[in-house]
Amino acid sequence: MRIRELLELGLQNRASDLHLTVPSPPILRIDGSLHVIQNLSPLSPQDIETYYEEITSPERRSEFSKNRELDFAYSIPGLMRCRVNVLQQRSTISIAIRLIPFDIPTVDDLNLPQICKDLILKPMGLILVTGPTGSGKSSTIAAMINHLNENKASNVITIEDPIEYVYSNKRSLILQRDVGEDTFSFDAALIHALRHDPDAIVLGEIREISTMTTAIRAAETGHLVLGTLHTIDAAQTINRIVDMFPAAQQEQIRNQLSLTLSAVICQTLIPRADGVGRVPACEVMIANMALRNVIREGRIHQLYSVIQVSKKDGMQTFNQAMADLMRKGTITKEQAYQRTSMIEELKGIYDSYQQ
């Protein structure tokens, strides 16, 4: 099968990823699980080379031969965009392809908290979307930017590696920069984006201390900044940011975060009870006065209890989110219990929702 046929098959089966590795047959990741494509033979090194040459240019192949690592975007007109990672293993090429439909999902399509619509329309502040790899962070940010695009006139600059969802200008003007193609680094792109009259800046991932420093500074100077981190909850997110910096700077960073942070949305994907797809469970932390004081004073262990009692402000813990999904019949109790370290609390919240 040609690469297009494999990707079409992945799209038909709602796969998020296609894996091509010697000596396995092509494998699809569907709803978080790996599925071998039936009736296809194990791939040989020659098969992988054929797929590799089909989706890469001579320039890309030259880059890979030097670095043994490669990230890039690949499009099939009229079908989809893809995010491709190529690496070398046991002297053969391995290819992982993330499938990205052309249609940008909405907040409602993804079953995200409605507060996401309000957050993205704020004039300034730092919004972080976090979660493990494959938890839907990119889709969440795309849905939020799509909502902004439809409802507010803003100059938006995205910095991604590589570009995933492609936006059409509606009410907003959206400029998209691909690290490696349009700019050399996140840091340089972010610094120059601030000189391009932006209202909102989207960072595909905040990896370095310098990028975080500039992101916080951008939020301080009146911009809306969105970024992603690989953290599992709000408390870990704040600790990760503070721990990026030397001890002498950490008090200053807590002060800056207490003033600039708008929200942290931490998410994980859980299989639906009906077996069709997955649904996000989101911990939502909104920076109200109480949370700003907790962050400024370094009392991060108290974040969870503040989120617990601040539902009226749009906040929720993972357990509260999962209990609500259980109440609606969207997910099963078994799936929820596997994803919490506080089962008794989750059971108590669920029981209170049933009363």
pLDDT digits (tens, 9 = 90+) for 223-244: 999 999 999 999 999 999 999 9
pLDDT digits (tens, 9 = 90+) for 261-282: 999 999 999 999 999 999 999 9
Give DSSP secondary structure letters for 222-282: T-EEEEEE--SSHHHHHHHHHHTS-HHHHHHHHHHHHHHEEEEEEEEEEE-TTSSSEEEEE
Counting every residue written for the chain, the total comes to 355
In CATH terms, the fold of domain 115-316 is: Rossmann fold (3.40.50)
162 preceded by a cis bond (ω within 30 of 0) = yes
pLDDT of 285 reads 98
Cβ burial of 88 (10 Å; 0-12, 13-18, 19+) is: middle
Cα(67)–Cα(55) distance, rounded to whole angstroms?
Answer: 18
Pairing of strands 261-271, 125-130: parallel
Number of helical H runs and strand E runs in the chain:
14, 13
In single-letter form, the type of residue at position 162 comes to: P
The DSSP H or E segment spanning 48 is: helix 45-55
pLDDT of 101 reads 86
pLDDT digits (tens, 9 = 90+) for 149-194: 999 999 999 999 889 999 999 999 999 999 988 999 888 999 999 9
- Going by C-alpha positions, the residue among 193, 277, 254 that lies closest to residue 227 is 193
Mean pLDDT of the chain: 95
Strand partners, 285: 264
Global pTM exceeds 0.95: no
Residue 355 has pLDDT above 80, yes or no: no
Cβ burial of 191 (10 Å; 0-12, 13-18, 19+) is: middle
In CATH terms, the fold of domain 3-101 is: Beta-Lactamase (3.30.450)
**Which residue bears the tokens 């080379």?**
49
Tell me what percent of the residues of the chain surpass a pLDDT of 90.
91
pLDDT of 354 reads 79
Cα(257)–Cα(251) distance, rounded to whole angstroms?
Answer: 10
Distances (CA, A) of 84 to 18, 148, 163, 187, 227: 10, 28, 11, 22, 21
The model's confidence at residue 205, banded by pLDDT at 50, 70 and 90, is confident
Q: Span 311-325, mean pLDDT?
A: 96
Q: Where in the chain is the domain with CATH 3.30.450.90?
A: 3-101
Residue 207 has pLDDT above 90, yes or no: no
The distance between the two most distant Cα atoms of the chain, rounded to a whole number of Å, is 64
Cα(135)–Cα(81) distance, rounded to whole angstroms?
Answer: 19
pLDDT digits (tens, 9 = 90+) for 88-139: 999 999 999 999 988 999 999 999 999 999 999 999 999 999 999 889 999 9
Cα-to-chain-centroid distance, residue 257: 21
Tell me what percent of the residues of the chain surpass a pLDDT of 70.
100
Cβ-proximal residues to 97 (8 Å cutoff; 6+ apart), any chain: 7, 17, 18, 19, 20, 74, 82, 83, 84, 85
Interior angle at CA 289, CA 283 and CA 290, nearest 5: 65
Q: Span 61-77, mean pLDDT?
A: 93
The model's confidence at residue 78, banded by pLDDT at 50, 70 and 90, is confident
The model's confidence at residue 204, banded by pLDDT at 50, 70 and 90, is confident
pLDDT of 56 reads 96
Cα(292)–Cα(311) distance, rounded to whole angstroms?
Answer: 16
Q: Where in the chain is the domain with CATH 3.40.50.300?
A: 115-316
Cβ-proximal residues to 228 (8 Å cutoff; 6+ apart), any chain: 128, 129, 130, 137, 138, 141, 203, 204, 205, 206
pLDDT of 129 reads 98
